[in-house]
Structure 1
Amino acid sequence: MTLTPSERATFKTEIARRLSPQTWTEIDLVLEEFGANVTSWSGDSFSYVAAMLRGIEDEPLRAMAQHLNIETGEDSVFDIPEFWAAGKLRVFLSHLAKHKVFASELQAALASYGISAFVAHEDIEPNSEWQDEIEKALRTCDTLVALLHEGFKDSTWTDQEVGYALGRGVPVSSVRLDIAPYGLFGRKQAFNGKDKDAPEIARELFEAYRVHPKTAEKMADVVIEMFCSSTSFLEARSNVKLVEELTTWRKSYKAMLREAISSNSQIQHAWGVPESIEAVIEKRDPDSGIPAGDSVSDDFDEIPF
Structure 2
Amino acid sequence: MLDVFKTYYRTVHNFLKYQNQKAFELFIEENLYEIFDNHDNWNGGIDYFTIELKVSVEQYLQIKGDDENIIIEDITDAFNNALKSNESLVINKIIIVPYDDATVYTPTTEPIWGLDYFRLFISHISENKVSAKNLKVCLEKWGIHGFVAHEDIEPSKEWSSILTDALFSMNALCAILVKRFRYSSWCDQEVGIALGQNKLCIPIKKDIIPYGFLGRYQMIKADGLDASHVAQKVAECVFKDERTHGIYCNSLAKLLINSKTSEKALQWIDVINSFPTIERVYAELIYKEYSHNPILLQPDVLQGINSLLKRYNMSTSLFIFGDHETSAEDLPF
Q: Does TM-score exceed 0.5, indicating one fold?
A: yes
- Equivalent residue runs for 1:27-176 within 5 Å: 44-46=61-63, 60-63=77-80, 79=108, 82-176=111-205
User: Which amino acid in structure 1 is aligned with residue 180 of structure 2?
Assistant: G
Alpha carbons of 1:199 and 1:118: their partners in 2 closer, same or farther (altered >3 Å)? same
Q: Do the aligned residues in 2 keep the contact of 1:145 with 1:173 (CA within 8 Å)? A: yes
Residue matched to 1:263: 297
Give the one of 269, 286, 304 matched to 1:253: 286
User: Which amino acid in structure 1 is aligned with residue 300 of structure 2?
Assistant: Q
> How far is 1:209 from its partner?
1.1
Alpha carbons of 1:96 and 1:239: their partners in 2 closer, same or farther (altered >3 Å)? closer
User: Which amino acid in structure 2 is aligned with residue 246 of structure 1?
Assistant: I
> How far is 1:222 from its partner?
2.5
Report Cα offsets for 1:76-101 as digits up to 9, x if no partner. Answer: x9657511112211111000101111
Give the number of the structure with larger relative contact order, counting CA–CA contacts within 8 Å between residues 6 or more apart: 1
For 2:168 and 2:136, the matched residues in 1 are separated by 19
Q: Do the aligned residues in 1 keep the contact of 2:252 with 2:268 (CA within 8 Å)? A: no
- Pair 1:17-2:22 in alignment: yes
- DSSP-derived class of the 1:125 partner: coil
Give the one of 201, 226, 231 matched to 2:262: 231
For 1:116 and 1:136, the matched residues in 2 are separated by 15
Report Cα offsets for 1:79-134 as digits up to 9, x if no partner. Answer: 57511112211111000101111101111111111111111111112122222221
Report Cα offsets for 1:189-210 as digits up to 9, x if no partner. Answer: 2011111111111111112212
Alpha carbons of 1:2 and 1:144: their partners in 2 closer, same or farther (altered >3 Å)? same
- DSSP-derived class of the 1:254 partner: helix
Give the one of 205, 217, 220 matched to 2:234: 205
- Pair 1:7-2:10 in alignment: yes
For 2:308 and 2:210, the matched residues in 1 are separated by 40
- Equivalent residue runs for 1:177-188 within 5 Å: 177-188=206-217
- Pair 1:277-2:277 in alignment: no
User: Which amino acid in structure 2 is aligned with residue 103 of structure 1?
Assistant: A
- DSSP-derived class of the 2:168 partner: helix
For 1:236 and 1:141, the matched residues in 2 are separated by 21
Alpha carbons of 1:211 and 1:256: their partners in 2 closer, same or farther (altered >3 Å)? farther
For 2:113 and 2:133, the matched residues in 1 are separated by 15
- DSSP-derived class of the 1:202 partner: helix
User: Which amino acid in structure 2 is aligned with residue 191 of structure 1?
Assistant: I
Structure 2 runs not aligned, ≥5 long: 26-49, 84-105, 316-333
Q: Do the aligned residues in 2 keep the contact of 1:211 with 1:247 (CA within 8 Å)? A: no
More helix by share: 1
Structure 1 runs not aligned, ≥5 long: 21-34, 67-76, 285-305
User: Which amino acid in structure 2 is aligned with residue 7 of structure 1?
Assistant: R
For 1:212 and 1:4, the matched residues in 2 are separated by 39
For 1:128 and 1:19, the matched residues in 2 are separated by 23
- DSSP-derived class of the 2:217 partner: coil
More strand by share: 2
> How far is 1:281 from its partner?
4.0
Report Cα offsets for 1:269-302 as digits up to 9, x if no partner. Answer: x4xx354234234269xxxxxxxxxxxxxxxxxx
Q: How many equivalent residue pairs? A: 252
**Structure (1 or 2) with the larger CA radius of gyration:** 2
For 2:21 and 2:186, the matched residues in 1 are separated by 29
For 2:116 and 2:82, the matched residues in 1 are separated by 24
Q: Do the aligned residues in 2 keep the contact of 1:92 with 1:118 (CA within 8 Å)? A: yes
Q: Do the aligned residues in 1 keep the contact of 2:204 with 2:221 (CA within 8 Å)? A: yes
For 1:189 and 1:179, the matched residues in 2 are separated by 14
Q: Do the aligned residues in 2 keep the contact of 1:12 with 1:53 (CA within 8 Å)? A: no
For 1:159 and 1:106, the matched residues in 2 are separated by 20
User: Which amino acid in structure 1 is aligned with residue 270 of structure 2?
Assistant: S
TM normalised by structure 1 equals 0.67
User: Which amino acid in structure 1 is aligned with residue 301 of structure 2?
Assistant: I
Alpha carbons of 1:193 and 1:89: their partners in 2 closer, same or farther (altered >3 Å)? same
